[in-house]
A and B are shown apart, each in its own frame.
Chain A
């Protein structure tokens, strides 16, 4: 019996893992798993699963309500509806610099950001200022009722117009 035990101890010593070391590793491993679980739990808990935010799709009303050659800001939807000769298009009105709401300045034919002075053309192209990117174009279409719809979560390449 004693011989057998001695052999076992010897075998364990040869493999570099005695009982104490085994339990230390088990303990540290368990703590590691618990820490990883806590991190995953914390991350998931802090990320809301349901957001009570407005829908990205907004109804911008009848096309006739927008005069030709006009740029209209909807403050709540945070988009510009532009009605030009080629047709309608929608621009995201949130400045690409740090997220301020831009405004249309008809007297200088410019979209301007009040926070840090970025300026854009009515097509969203940057003219000056710190904004790193142009204002994105957003997908726009006509609903079955003939109303202009905009999906604010769907950015599209420029120069795609809605003709009515």
Chain B
């Protein structure tokens, strides 16, 4: 049965339509295998070749991938929620309630969006702890650690901007407090708050600005940095695995005398 399926799949891979989409062609040589990845826009961010010991199971595996997974869930559920949400005061609150009580599966989507957001923040921290305690921030990966810190900030900003959108009391006062914290920045603080809110109070302008930041600007910036993050993993020699590399890669002198 399996052989038959494999035969059909091989035939499919040989068809003209398939070849027009995937240009690597049929075959199972190492070259073909690597080309299948290198010539795929989605897989090209990943390593062409992965060491076997890096695929060995351990308890904290895939935290970065899971973070990307929650980002994917948030993108899909977020786009669906946008179909019923007007970023205008006071309509936004009514839309949120409609999503909960009127729209089919609206409650589910809203909860999925919210819980995925919580999960993403948790996973980002867990991922960073793992990277830190495994020493995977050390050269040559130090720049990717910095990219990761930027991604942490973007994640927190996405959470913060999303907090205002339900336009309820919690949202209003949380953003009032948060924007006042921003105004504590020396010299430019008040101006930063004014630009952030588009006014002196949390009102319709602030709601619209946070909406655009939450749904458009921050996700696009996040996507850009995620792409750089993954690309750097390849360039820096793949994921870090214990015992797969010397303790410190870039030293001026050998850590121990050669045997």
Residue of A nearest to B199 (CB): A51
CB–CB B176/A99 < 8 A? yes
Q: Least Cβ distance of B68 to chain A in Å?
A: 31
Which secondary structure dominates where chain A touches chain B? Answer: loop
Q: Give the contacts of B186-213 with A (CB-CB under 8 A).
A: 194-195, 198-201, 203-205
CB–CB B205/A48 < 8 A? yes
CB–CB B199/A115 < 8 A? no
Within the complex, which residue of A51, A97, A100 is in contact with B200, where a contact is CB–CB below 8 Å? A51
- Residues of A with C-beta under 8 A to B173: 100, 115
- Residues of A with C-beta under 8 A to B203: 53
A15 at the interface (CB under 8 A from B): no
Cβ-Cβ contact count across A and B, 8 Å cutoff: 30
Q: How large is the interface on B (under 10, 10 to 19, 20 to 34, 35 or more residues)?
A: 10 to 19
A57 at the interface (CB under 8 A from B): no
CB–CB A98/B199 < 8 A? no
CB–CB A46/B200 < 8 A? no
A14 at the interface (CB under 8 A from B): no
* Size of interface on A: residues with Cβ below 8 Å to B: 12
CB–CB A100/B177 < 8 A? yes
Given the known interface contacts A46-B195, A47-B195, A98-B181, the answer about A53 and B176 at a Cβ–Cβ threshold of 8 Å is no
Q: Least Cβ distance of B9 to chain A in Å?
A: 53
Interface string of A45-65 (1 = CB under 8 A from B): 011100111000000000000
- Residues of B with C-beta under 8 A to A46: 195, 198
B180 at the interface (CB under 8 A from A): yes
Within the complex, which residue of B180, B200, B205 is in contact with A98, where a contact is CB–CB below 8 Å? B180
- Residues of B with C-beta under 8 A to A43: 195
Interface string of A21-57 (1 = CB under 8 A from B): 0000000000000000000000100111001110000
- Residues of B with C-beta under 8 A to A98: 176-177, 180-181
- Residues of A with C-beta under 8 A to B204: 52
Q: Least Cβ distance of A150 to chain B in Å?
A: 17
Q: Give the contacts of A89-146 with B (CB-CB under 8 A).
A: 97-100, 115
CB–CB B199/A53 < 8 A? yes
Within the complex, which residue of B177, B179, B195, B198 is in contact with A115, where a contact is CB–CB below 8 Å? B177
CB–CB B176/A48 < 8 A? no
CB–CB B199/A100 < 8 A? no
* Contact surface of B with A, Cβ cutoff 8 Å: 173, 176-177, 179-181, 194-195, 198-201, 203-205
* Contact surface of A with B, Cβ cutoff 8 Å: 43, 46-48, 51-53, 97-100, 115
3 A-B pairs closest in CB distance: A99-B180, A98-B180, A98-B177
